[in-house]
């Protein structure tokens, strides 16, 4: 048995995009002004075993859950949507929020039984992202 055998399994990833505006309160720079991004939400999860037909999960189940959460923020000013009315909507806080919400929803979804959320990455653009979760 290898030293890493307890961590072996299958990783899965889904990505959902949304467009939104925001600004960073208290920031000394351009991001203090309202501006927009085409955000990408990248959700990574793991399963210890494949099902009887050889798949980890039906991607559409995790993608549908993620899309439903993303739809709350699509084409919105993030600073006006809870919980970001009191917390700056940074890539970091978005990643944390999406992780906690998805983890809670996955726990109650029979179709996603056995799925362990690993991390959520929020991409503001193709070069800048923040990740929350297992590191």
Please say whether the beta carbons of 117 and 106 come within 8 A: yes
CATH number at residue 93: 3.30.479.10
Q: Is 25 part of a structural domain of the chain?
A: yes
pLDDT in tens, 41-66: 999 999 999 989 999 888 999 999 99
**Between the CA of residue 28 and those of 23, 25, 32, 33, 80, what are the distances in Å?**
11, 9, 7, 10, 20
Query: Is 97 a member of any domain?
Result: yes
H helix and E strand count, the chain: 2, 4
User: What's the pTM?
Assistant: 0.92
**80 within some domain:** yes
Q: Is 43 contained in some domain? A: no
Question: Total structural domains in the chain?
Answer: 1
pLDDT of residue 3: 54
Q: Residue 7 — very low, low, confident or very high, per pLDDT cuts 50/70/90?
A: confident
Residue partners of 27: CB distance under 8 A and separation at least 6 = 88
The answer to whether residue 45 sits within a structural domain is: no
Structural domain boundaries, residue 107? 19-37+57-120
Is 116 a member of any domain? Answer: yes
pLDDT bucket at 26, cuts 50 / 70 / 90: very high
Please list the alpha-helical segments (H only) found in 59-90: 59-71
């Amino acid at each position: 048995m290898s030293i890493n055998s307890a961590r072996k399994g299958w990783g899965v990833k889904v990505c959902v995009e949304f467009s939104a505006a925001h600004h960073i309160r208290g920031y000394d720079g351009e991001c203090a002004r309202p501006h927009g991004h085409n955000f990408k939400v990248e959700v990574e999860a793991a399963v210890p075993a494949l099902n009887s037909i050889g798949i980890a999960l039906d991607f559409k189940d995790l993608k549908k859950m993620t899309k439903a959460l993303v739809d709350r923020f699509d084409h919105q000013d993030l600073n006006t949507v809870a919980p970001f009315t009191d917390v700056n909507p940074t890539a970091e806080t978005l990643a944390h929020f999406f992780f906690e919400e998805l983890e809670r929803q996955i726990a109650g979804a029979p179709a996603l039984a056995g799925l362990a959320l690993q991390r959520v990455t929020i991409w503001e653009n193709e070069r800048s992202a923040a990740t929350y979760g297992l590191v």
